[in-house]
Amino acid sequence: MFIIQTYSLAVLFCIITMLCWGSWANTQKLAANNWRFELFYWDYVIGILLLALLFALTLGSTGDSGRSFLPDVAQADTSNIGSAMLGGIIFNAANILLGAAISIAGMSVAFPVGIGLALAIGVVVNYLDSPVGNALLLFGGVALIVIAILLNANAYRKTASNTSSVSTKGLALSIISGCLMGLFYKYVAQSMFQNFDVPEAGKLSPYTAVVFFSIGIFLSNFVFNTLLMMRPFVGSPVSYADYFRGNLRSHLMGIIGGVVWCIGMSFSIIASGKAGPAISYGLGQGATVVAALWGIYVWHEFRNAPKGTNTLLNLMLLCYVVGLGLIIAAR
């Protein structure tokens, strides 16, 4: 299987992860205007599973290093398979809430609050499980990102001060999503052998782990997303019949969104072998900066903001960039 051999390449993979995780939500905005998030999300999950299988059967099954995908599946312990799938279930619950928050509050709010909080929790949890990197630099970077979260929340409060309570719901969903999102990665990391060059009996390769993680997302979606379709946070209920009435563009946007996100997830997991789970996860969650830039400068989600809001947003982005730099230096 393909394995990263240098830290600099691992950082590059984490940057690609950041771009993918910060950009996939644009596909939701590019779908048909009447295409509900609950329907979009089915195609998104299918896209994740398809990309995970494609990587496992190609990058995960070539070369002399590690262990190929199919032999890896055959020898895997059920406990490690279950750990990777549990990561997928937790992620799916968090991501559905994040998607709902995006549809209510916008990318430049949901991502900085939800994913920023997930970054802070995730770095701490993953560092405790696998303490790789300089703790002072790592947690200093996390502290700056927490400050960025508070700045963004304040900018949102100034902008939404005259809107309805739906905006408060979007912010609340972002917070709940972030708390859950910070926990999923460690279960995937725990299912894998730590040295990708030296496979361990019963443990999973990074490619196999992402496949079972994706299966956990897919299976749990029949519970989580079905409930959301019946009792949506915004709007009237939708049915499976509504899904099959969607046009090709809407279905394709969802699948592309899932593919883009899963490229990021796969690259993050592959990079964790050299960077360590805490740094790999932390850098990937710099997606918040990318999403905020999309929301501010492309979708103009703060165009009617009061005076002083732009200063808060610029300070937020500065804190994120410096914080991410410290996380990179921590290794």
Query: Residue 96 carries which side chain, given as an amino acid letter?
Result: I
pLDDT of res. 251: 96
Q: What percent of the chain has pLDDT over 90?
A: 53
Residue 166: pLDDT over 80: no
CB 116 within 8 A of CB 287: no
What number of CA atoms fall less than 13 Å from residue 99's CA on the CB side? Answer: 29
Q: What percent of the chain has pLDDT over 70?
A: 95
pLDDT of res. 165: 42
Q: What is the mean pLDDT of the chain?
A: 88
269-278 average pLDDT score: 91
The C-alpha atoms of residue 114 and residue 178 are separated, in whole angstroms, by 4
Tokens 């997302």 — which residue? 217
pLDDT of res. 289: 74
102-111, 191-200, 253-262, 303-312: least confident range: 102-111
- Identify the residue with better confidence: 1 or 165: 1
Choose the most confident range, by mean pLDDT, from 89-103, 207-221, 300-314.
207-221
pLDDT of res. 39: 95
Token code pair at residue 188: 């995937």
CB 303 within 8 A of CB 240: no
Q: Name the 3-class secondary structure at 164.
A: coil
Contacts of 173 (CB under 8 A, 6+ apart): 97, 98, 100, 101, 104, 105, 110, 114, 233
pLDDT of res. 108: 62
pLDDT of res. 233: 82
204: β partners: 192
Residue 126: pLDDT over 70: yes
Residue 162: pLDDT over 70: no
